Amino acid sequence: MTAKKRVKIIMAKPGLDGHDRGAKLLARVFAEAGMEVVYTGLRQTPEMIVDAALQEDADVVGLSSLSGVHNYFFPRVVQLLKEKGLDDVLVVGGGIIPEEDVAELKKAGVAAIFGPGTRTDDIIKFIEDNVSRS
């Protein structure tokens, strides 16, 4: 049996926000969907997150923020990924993110924002449809 390629995702909480209910729940759900999930825990700087993505050769980086810092952190992660040549990593985000910020974040390179109440299978489907399999 040869191992088939599996989606590898980094789940990270950038900044000082400690609300990790969503991040942990999704980590579990993603693993159940067959992904390999690297959970990095709280208090991650963009540098730490990108370092993890680089070393783990992640396909996806999932960011969760409920403290209103998404406008700072999410684009910063995308930018650092680019600087490291990791342009093909899919970046998705979730948490408490006002609709009016979403367009800006997408323009910055965040592929999707999942707000409260999103079905987890919708998130999984989005990732599976959009991850680049090189």
Smaller CB separation from other proteins, 51 or 108: 51
Nearest approach in angstroms of CB 25 to other proteins is 6
What would you report as the CA-atom Rg of the chain, rounded to the nearest whole angstrom? 14
Q: Which residues 6+ apart lie within 8 Å of 134 measured at CB?
A: 88
Q: Does 87 bind other proteins (CB under 8 A)?
A: no
Q: Does 79 bind other proteins (CB under 8 A)?
A: no
- CA-to-CA separations, 103 to 21, 72, 78, in angstroms, rounded: 25, 14, 15
Nearest-angstrom CA–CA distance, 43 and 82 = 22
Nearest approach in angstroms of CB 99 to other proteins is 3
Smaller CB separation from other proteins, 31 or 108: 31
Q: Does 5 bind other proteins (CB under 8 A)?
A: yes
Of 31, 8, 17, residue with least CA distance to 95: 17
Q: Does 106 bind other proteins (CB under 8 A)?
A: no
Q: Does 37 bind other proteins (CB under 8 A)?
A: yes
